[in-house]
Amino acid sequence: MTFACVFPGQGSQSLGMLSALSDAHPQVREAFEEASDALGSDLWNLAQNGPEEDLNRTEMTQPAMLAAGVAAWRVWQASGGRTPAILAGHSLGEYTALVCAGALAFGNTVQLVAERGRLMQGAVAPGEGAMAAILGLDDGQVMDICARAAQGGVVEAVNFNSPGQVVIAGDTAAVDRAVALAAEVGARRSVKLPVSVPSHCRLMEDAAARLADRLADTAVTAPGIPVIHNVDASAHDAPDDIRAALAAQLHRPVRWVDSVRHMAAQGVSAIVELGPGRVLTGLNKRIDKGLGVICVQDPESLRQALDLVGA
């Protein structure tokens, strides 16, 4: 069976994440200790004990989720899991995929994503940016709503997560107008997301430029496993192309539907999500009902995933 492994981004974190997997596999704590040493902060204690508001701070969420994804990958490898044909990650998860593919060094990337979080948080004043999930409309309808709601401000479709689920981001007032318009045209549901940073829209352009400067000083090598990038649903080998994709990702949409369909077109018949939560597993099933999908976050789901794709 040809399969892919994918890694979640912000929003999948929770207090106590990977605790059961840690009890059975020392690789979890080892990965968190390595990340904590690089960051100078105890990420395992934060992930297990909080406080939750600190775990949900962007500059802490990102290194914690990176550590969680790398930990699950190391458990997968130590448990005899086969090497996937493709890796990918949603937003922040793309960094995890690149670490697991050998393109980025783990410790350096912990520091890099913490800086990414600080740049994102500083790009828009508190309360001035927002995101919302629009459910039950097609992509074109959502983009039309954003165009009508902008009124000189910024609101854009930024996460094409699955058919009928698109996340928008931008100025708070413009996002609120778009949510109201979505209801008028028949959206099944529109949900403001509990975030303070309007990710993947052009309000992040200045942050992306600063991140590009940081990436220019970051060692990048060709990945040992192809990694599908969010911005163009394609794999890149050249270090400068990888740097450019990571910088562009900050202010351009996450094309998750295209990414999953690209993997399927490459012969992938199952996708294993490595890390806390089941967000991507749900999206992947909606994108392609023929895919085998599973999330590895505890010993039982690990066993099921190994059975699904073969150890």
Residues sharing a CB contact under 8 Å with residue 14, sequence separation 6 or more, in sequence order: 276, 277
The one-digit pLDDT tens for each residue of the chain (311 residues) are 999 999 999 989 999 999 999 999 999 999 999 999 999 999 999 999 999 999 999 999 999 999 999 999 999 999 999 999 999 999 999 999 999 999 999 999 999 999 999 999 999 998 999 999 999 999 999 999 999 999 999 999 999 999 999 999 999 999 999 999 999 999 999 999 988 799 999 999 999 999 999 999 999 999 999 999 999 999 999 999 999 999 999 999 999 999 999 999 999 999 999 999 999 999 999 999 999 999 999 999 999 999 999 86
Q: What is the pLDDT of residue 245?
A: 98
200 is catalytic: yes
Strands 292-296, 129-135: pairing kind: unpaired
Catalytic residue, candidates 25, 200, 236, 262: 200
Going by C-alpha positions, the residue among 239, 269, 268, 235 that lies closest to residue 89 is 235
Q: What is the pLDDT of residue 196?
A: 75
- Per the structure block, which two tokens stand in for 106? 């783990």
Q: What is the pLDDT of residue 194?
A: 82
Question: Over the range 5-20, which residues count as b (16 or more CB within 10 Å of their CB) and which as e?
Answer: bbbbbbbbbeeebbeb
Going by C-alpha positions, the residue among 5, 10, 23, 17 that lies closest to residue 99 is 5
Q: What is the pLDDT of residue 200?
A: 98
**How far apart, in whole angstroms, are the C-alpha atoms of residue 311 and residue 248?**
36
Q: What is the pLDDT of residue 195?
A: 83
Catalytic residue, candidates 12, 22, 36, 91: 91
Q: What is the pLDDT of residue 190?
A: 95
C-beta neighbour count of 295 within 10 angstroms: 26
- Say what angle helices 106-123 and 205-216 make with each other, to 10 degrees: 160
